[in-house]
Amino acid sequence: MACTSCSTSDGGAPKGCKNNGTCGTDSCNKLTVFDWLANMTLPGGQAPFDCVEVRFKNGRKEFFRNTEKLTLSIGDVVATEASSGHDVGLVSLTGELVRVQMNKKHVKDNAEVPKIYRKATQKDIDIWHGVRNKEDAIQVRAREIAIAIKLEMKISDIEFQGDGSKATFYYTANDRVDFRQLIKEYAGEFKIRVEMKQVGFRQEAARLGGIGSCGRELCCSSWLTDFRSVNTSAARYQQLSLNPQKLAGQCGKLKCCLNYELDTYLDALKGLPDMDTKLLTDKGDAYCQKIDIFKNLMWFSYANAPAHWHTIKADKAKEIVALNKQGKKIAQLEDYVEEVSTVNIEKKFENVVGQDSLTRFDQPKKKSNNNNKRKKKPFKKNEQ
């Protein structure tokens, strides 16, 4: 089913739904729940669950009660109850799975759940599209007003209510901001009710979207909804360089993907000595410089020669540590060194499609030899 918020411009080119990947068409399936109970019928005498899940801009979801007993399906545009007026959104889930989602998000099934007024009429949809088209221009003006008042904040996004009576301004700030004067300026400039809502830097990146350093769409804007804290210890466990420019994402915080393989590294590190391991030898104390977790190798160097590393198996390092605990020293590290074979694999690329070589411009140009050129004879007066 095509998303009704996807419209076309005057020239016929698609404008897009402006939901930043959450409209429910094609690849826009962020936060989509597969209704695996859709083909199952309820037991006799049991009424269907009267709450539905409605999705708004940028993946914001809320639960509403279907008091009018409307026949709703996923993708329907509905007018829902709001603090004042009504809002417009898309039905994202119906049936018994809504009960499961409400329990998961700790939403109580009581009389305080807002209700659905009706299926959106064409007038509702036209007003909804009209205010959505004004969001970009108002966002630019809102930033100009905030800069003029000299507030240390950034307006990251604007979301209009479906009836156009209220707008929510999402902002990010490092410190607490007194925006009372800003609300007065916005209300006088835009002639609407204003609500300010602060979001974190990770939530801002999720709302705006983008392409990460891996070349793919940001996880937070495509599928990730659970923002867990990321520490620099996750980079240390994975033997990564503590370079803030490489470890930080577009939000300015540590990348969420540092936690993806952390558990695997922690399980592998359980059978290896620590980085603080010190080996006692007759030639002097040796300190650990590097660990290769999956090859089960460790590099040690003497205190008086830190630049000269010795490769030792982790099992042998454990044996040396056990001997040191018994008060015994080994003669030298060289007796336990592991020879690591390094094979240089040269990749050969073949021109299979008839294209020119990529290195054709790297070869120096041939110098022209002027000595081989025929010299012109001087003109003589007696020659015709």
pTM beyond 0.75: the answer is no
User: Where does a domain end: 336, 358, 374?
Assistant: 336
Given a cut of 90, whether residue 40 has pLDDT beyond it is no
- Is residue 26 located within the same domain as residue 96? yes
Tokens (6 digits) for 281: 């030898």
In a domain, 235, yes or no: yes
CATH code, 182: 3.30.300.20
CA-based nearest residue to 141, from 103, 200, 194, 180: 194
Q: Are residues 180 and 198 in the same domain?
A: yes
Is 40 inside any structural domain? no
The neighbouring-strand residues paired with 198 are 171
Share of residues in the chain with pLDDT > 90 (%): 36
Tell whether 343 is covered by a domain. Answer: no
Same domain, 151 and 86: no
Out of 135-149, 273-287, 326-340, 357-371, pick the least confident: 357-371
Report the half-sphere exposure of 146 (CA within 13 A, side-chain side). 22
Give 9's pLDDT tier (boundaries 50, 70, 90). Answer: very low
Same domain, 187 and 141: yes
Is residue 152 within 8 A of residue 175, CB to CB? The reply is yes
Name the amino acid, one letter, at 164.
G
How many structural domains does the chain have?
Answer: 4
Together in a domain, 307 and 288: yes
- For the segment 9-20, the average pLDDT, to the nearest whole number, is 45
- Please give, one letter per residue, the 3-state secondary structure of 293-330: CCCCEEEEEECCEEEEEEEEEHHHHHHHHHHHHCCCCE
CB 325 within 8 A of CB 281: no
pLDDT in tens, 66-104: 999 899 988 899 999 998 889 999 998 998 889 988 998
The whole-angstrom distance between residue 44's C-alpha and the CA centroid of its chain comes to 46
d(CA 342, CA 257): 30
Residue 30 falls within a domain, yes or no? yes
Q: For residue 91, how many C-alpha atoms fall within 13 Å in the half-sphere facing its CB? A: 26
The pLDDT tens digits of the residues spanning 228-284 come to 889 999 998 888 888 888 899 988 899 999 999 999 899 888 888 888 889 999 888
- Looking at every residue in the chain, the average pLDDT score rounds to 82
Does 161 share its domain with 113?
no
Instruction: Answer yes or no: are the C-beta atoms of 75 and 91 closer than 8 Å.
Output: yes
80 with 140, same domain?
Answer: no
Q: Output the pLDDT for position 24.
A: 43
Domain identity same for 154 and 195: yes
Query: How far, in Å, CA of 359 to CA of 114, rounded?
Result: 66
pLDDT of residue 45: 73
Hey, what amino acid is at 310? Answer: H
Instruction: Please give the residue range of the domain that contains residue 302.
Output: 278-336
Mean pLDDT value of segment 37-43: 77
Q: Are residues 22 and 114 located together in one domain of the fold?
A: yes
pLDDT of residue 14: 40
Same domain, 64 and 142: no
114 and 138 inside one domain? no
What local confidence, expressed as pLDDT, does residue 209 receive?
82
- Evaluate whether residue 378 is within a structural domain: no
Contact assessment for residue 230 and residue 262, using Cβ atoms and an 8 Å cutoff: no
- Quick one: 190 and 239 in the same domain? no
